[in-house]
Amino acid sequence: MSDKKASRENDNQPQSGVNGVGAPQVAASGTAMRVPAREPARSSQNAVPRRRLLQGNEAMVEGALAAGCRFFAGYPITPASEISELMSVRLPRENGTFIQMEDEIASMGAVIGASLAGVKSLTATSGPGFSLMQENLGFACMAEVPCVVVNVMRGGPSTGMPTSPAQGDVMQARWGTHGDHPIIVLSVATVAECFEITVTAFNFAEKYRVPVILLSDEVVAHTRENIVLPESAQLEVVDRIRPSVPPQWYKPYADNSRGVPPMATMGDGYRHHVTGLVHDQSGYPTERSDEVKTQLKRQMRKISSGFGEIQLTRSFMLEDAQVAVIAYGAVARSAKRAVRMARRQGIKAGLLQLVTLFPFPRKAVDQVLRQCKAVIVPEMNFGQISREVKRVNRTCRVFTVNRIDGQLITPAEIFQEISN
Amino acid sequence: MKMEKVEQLRHYYLRHDKKFPHVWCPGCGNGIILGSLIRAIDKIGLSKDEVVLASGIGCAGRMPVYADFNTLHTTHGRALTFATGIKLARPELNLITVMGDGDATGIGGNHFIHAARRNLNLTAIIINNQIYGMTGGQYSPTTPYGAKAATATGGHLEHAFSIADLAVTAGASFVARGTVYHVPHLDKLIEQGIRKNGFAVIEIMAYCHTQFGRRNKMGDAVTMMEKLRDRAVAVKDPGAAGSPGTAVAAGASDTPGAAASAGALDSDSLDTLDGKFAIGVLTDVEKPDYIAEYARLRAASRLNAQNAGNAGK
């Protein structure tokens, strides 16, 4: 169905004109360790071609493995199940562990546990399961446990439309768990990005000690495209920084210039306490106002000080654009084609594709809003990112194109809005 | 155990940089359980680095923070899920979870039965005080029929189940029940549970004089503890028949009809305020070790991948 519509456009090549720092491979700066990707078992499988016809979900598995993920816990759900299925085959080969838990709450708990034990961990789900994960996601934010959560969005709310695409979980990805919390939300539009941005997601999670939500949707997840998997040597893979002090000096939540404390692995001699309660720098529960403030502010600061590299966007024909489309996920593919259609008609149109949704890439969006007369925000919901765009907007006219009927927004629909 | 030794253990296993006093009420049995746990670990000879003590939420959930192991205070009911992830990622660690009755079998009931079925090598200590204590005495899955609670001021309408029986039915390979009165016995049960290669459950009958006893006119902490002594009936340990350690001085074991053998269901008696219940090892069976099974799967997968690779060349 809509898969074909989306894949007809040859959008799977890595795009040039990247705004912000980083993408395709995230440039990890600062003090993070740079370690080449290790794939022990890969050497025995040299026959694996690097050019592969893959589904979005499958490319995410390849990306996760390339990033060093060696643990997956999940629960069956459409349209994310292929990730579980492939992980159950691939992980044991790579000396990793796959487990199907009794529900998504348990999956998220197991993922956090494995990460605390030093293993990069992933889970994948869709809306209903993502709702169940919110509780332990909050724990991962509070205890600063790196992990990646894929949400292949389907029609909602509730059980909604399991086999149809949507983008209704954007705000949930940012604000789903209770309380103010630091979190990173990324999105993918192509199969190539499913690989590449999954690596980025792990790198961000490890570098900032946060859960990273990776939003896909049913169209991207089930579209098959030919992509070239990069050699592992070309990939930059970031691992969490481990403590270098003797165990008795270790303060698991002490501040430093980056705001990201080194993370000890359970069982390595750095015995400490991990809790979802607000804690002091030793990890012990506290309600002392000065300690609470210090910890929570640091948790927010570690993200805000990384805006430069976290806020990833991609621009297409934006240089002289007077009308811009701001889109993400599968809709960005329709938008790209719509921009081409508009250009053929002599309209100076361009596309700003948001890869990072949160922290909202205000700088890049602001630039587009200043430059253009009109901005169009198409999305498969009633308007979630358009609210963010309007929030940062001062002078530009912002139009929305929304669909919530389980169908991908077509290039023609966006083109029509551009022409108006 | 000599007092000097007790003192040494306390200093060795409790955290020096954690501010005391602890959160538990004076007279609470949770400290007795922490003591039993420490003695069991010391007896086995595990190093502090190879023990992970994980808990959920509630009074029981506060236990790990005082102990000098790798400690984890998770979300309500989810301790076993976190423990599962840690164990799979680092099988050489000894995972012990501490939960309350509401934590393990109310909000965490689904995780509990599946952990039992899965049979990963974890030890689950469940402190059953028949009430949600920390939040103010609301009824829990083990509050007896007719008992008063903050949310059952007119008497509880629902029925309690037996945690140990639930564990047996769900497939746990080791299930035992002890009380905070029978302390040397409890030390031994916890030790056996930790040593067991498989999912081990130790249900510990405790009391909450603050939230449960007061409402139900059951007296002070000492009176409630004596009540536990009188209600408990020792069973023969199926795993170690004739072992003297299991011969427990149970106060009123002469009562006919008490749960005197392993497997006899205690659901009915635990649904009352004074019925007899069995203590001792209720189940001890051997099942395939999950970690070993997964290692086998890994080896087979690698071999398959290699063969496929060779075929491709």
User: Does B299 reside within a domain?
Assistant: no
| Cα(A67)–Cα(A343) distance, integer angstroms | 38
Residue B307 sits at the chain A interface (C-beta within 8 Å): no
Q: Quick one: pLDDT at residue B258? A: 38
Sequence-distant (≥ 6) Cβ neighbours of residue B307 within 8 angstroms: none
Q: What mean pLDDT comes out for the span A200-222?
A: 98
Residue A31's Cβ-side half-sphere holds a number of Cα atoms within 13 Å equal to 10
User: Does A394 reside within a domain?
Assistant: yes
DSSP line for B137-153: SB--TTPPTT--BTTBT
Q: Which two tokens stand for residue A156?
A: 């909602």
Question: Which pLDDT tens digit goes with each residue over B11-24?
Answer: 999 999 887 789 99
Q: Do B70 and A271 touch (CB under 8 A)?
A: yes
Q: Quick one: pLDDT at residue B312? A: 55
Do A204 and A341 lie in a common domain?
no
3-state secondary structure of B159: coil
Question: Which pLDDT tens digit goes with each residue over A44-62?
Answer: 444 456 899 999 999 999 9
Nearest CB among A48, A102, A119 relative to B114 is that of A102
Q: Do A111 and B85 touch (CB under 8 A)?
A: yes
Percentage of the residues of chain A whose pLDDT score is greater than 70: 88
Q: Answer whether the bond into residue A246 is a cis peptide, omega within 30°.
A: no
From A239, A273, A288, the end of a domain falls on A239
Judge residue A11's burial from the number of C-beta atoms within 10 Å of its C-beta, 0-12 exposed, 13-18 middle, 19 or more buried: buried
Domain count, chain B: 1
DSSP line for A69-86: --EEEE---TTTHHHHHH
Judge residue A300's burial from the number of C-beta atoms within 10 Å of its C-beta, 0-12 exposed, 13-18 middle, 19 or more buried: middle
A positions 255-294 inside 8 Å of B (CB): 265-269, 271-277, 282, 284-285
Sequence-distant (≥ 6) Cβ neighbours of residue A227 within 8 angstroms: A12, A51, A52, A54, A59, A191, A192, A195
Pairs from A392-398 (Cβ < 8 Å, separation ≥ 24)? A392/A360, A392/A362, A392/A365, A392/A366, A393/A369, A394/A369, A395/A369, A395/A370, A396/A369, A396/A370, A396/A372, A397/A373, A398/A369, A398/A374
CATH number of the domain where residue B39 is located: 3.40.50.970
Report the length, in residues, of chain A.
420
3-state secondary structure of A413: helix
- The letter for the amino acid at B273 is L
Q: Which two tokens stand for residue A9?
A: 């456009």
User: Does B226 reside within a domain?
Assistant: yes
Choose among A57, A117, A55, A122: nearest CA to A91: A122
Low pLDDT (below 70) residues in chain B: 236-265, 312-313
| Cα(A122)–Cα(A99) distance, integer angstroms | 11
User: Does A302 reside within a domain?
Assistant: no
Q: Quick one: pLDDT at residue B308? A: 85
DSSP line for A132-174: HHHHHHHHHHHHT--EEEEEEEEE-STT-EEEEE--TTHHHHH
| Cα(A140)–Cα(A256) distance, integer angstroms | 20
Sequence-distant (≥ 6) Cβ neighbours of residue B204 within 8 angstroms: B29, B33, B125, B126, B127, B128, B177, B178, B179, B180, B186
- The letter for the amino acid at A226 is N
User: Does A33 reside within a domain?
Assistant: yes
Report the first-to-last Cα separation within chain A, whole angstroms. Answer: 28
Question: Which pLDDT tens digit goes with each residue over B190-240?
Answer: 999 999 999 999 999 999 999 999 999 999 999 999 999 999 999 965 544
Choose among B278, B273, B160: nearest CA to B216: B273
| Cα(A297)–Cα(B132) distance, integer angstroms | 33
Confidence of residue A168 (pLDDT cuts 50, 70, 90): very high
User: How close does chain A come to B64, measured CA to CA in Å?
Assistant: 8
Choose among B169, B196, B198, B191: nearest CA to B287: B198
Residues of chain B with C-beta less than 8 angstroms from the C-beta of A95: 298
Do A202 and A114 lie in a common domain?
yes
DSSP element (H, E) containing B16 = none
A positions 78-117 inside 8 Å of B (CB): 89, 92-93, 95, 97, 99, 101-103, 105-117
pLDDT of residue A225 exceeding 80, the answer is yes
Do A320 and A415 lie in a common domain?
yes
Q: Quick one: pLDDT at residue B238? A: 53
From A239, A260, A295, the end of a domain falls on A239
User: Does A361 reside within a domain?
Assistant: yes
Choose among B62, B55, B76, B50: nearest CA to B22: B62
- The letter for the amino acid at A205 is A
Report the first-to-last Cα separation within chain B, whole angstroms. Answer: 67
Whole domain around residue A332: which residue ranges? 311-419
Domain count, chain A: 2
Do A234 and A361 lie in a common domain?
no
CATH number of the domain where residue A394 is located: 3.40.50.920
User: Does A251 reside within a domain?
Assistant: no
A positions 34-53 inside 8 Å of B (CB): 41, 44-48
User: How close does chain A come to B13, measured CA to CA in Å?
Assistant: 12
Residue A325's Cβ-side half-sphere holds a number of Cα atoms within 13 Å equal to 36
User: How close does chain A come to B71, measured CA to CA in Å?
Assistant: 5
| Cα(A57)–Cα(A55) distance, integer angstroms | 5
User: Does B23 reside within a domain?
Assistant: yes
Mean pLDDT of chain A: 90
Q: Which two tokens stand for residue A182?
A: 């630091």
- State the Cα torsion A46-A52-A56-A58 to the nearest 10°: -30
What DSSP designation does A233 have? G
From A239, A270, A286, the end of a domain falls on A239
Q: Do B72 and A274 touch (CB under 8 A)?
A: yes
Residue B72 has phi, psi (to 5 degrees) of -145, 125
DSSP element (H, E) containing B275 = none
Judge residue A402's burial from the number of C-beta atoms within 10 Å of its C-beta, 0-12 exposed, 13-18 middle, 19 or more buried: middle
> Would you give the distance in Å from CA B218 to the centre of its chain?
24
Looking at chain B, the number of H-run helices and the number of E-run strands are 9, 8
Check residues A106 and B244 and name the one with the higher pLDDT: A106
What DSSP designation does B210 have? I
Neighbours of A346 (CB within 10 A): 7
Whole domain around residue B56: which residue ranges? 3-288
Question: Which pLDDT tens digit goes with each residue over A8-33?
Answer: 344 443 343 334 333 333 333 333 34
Residues of chain B with C-beta less than 8 angstroms from the C-beta of A276: 73-75
- What angle, 0 to 180 degrees and rounded to 10, lies between the N-to-C axes of helices A56-66 and A191-208? 40
CATH number of the domain where residue A83 is located: 3.40.50.970
Q: Quick one: pLDDT at residue A236? A: 96
User: Does B219 reside within a domain?
Assistant: yes
Residues of chain A with C-beta less than 8 angstroms from the C-beta of B74: 109, 136, 139, 276
Q: Do B84 and A93 touch (CB under 8 A)?
A: no
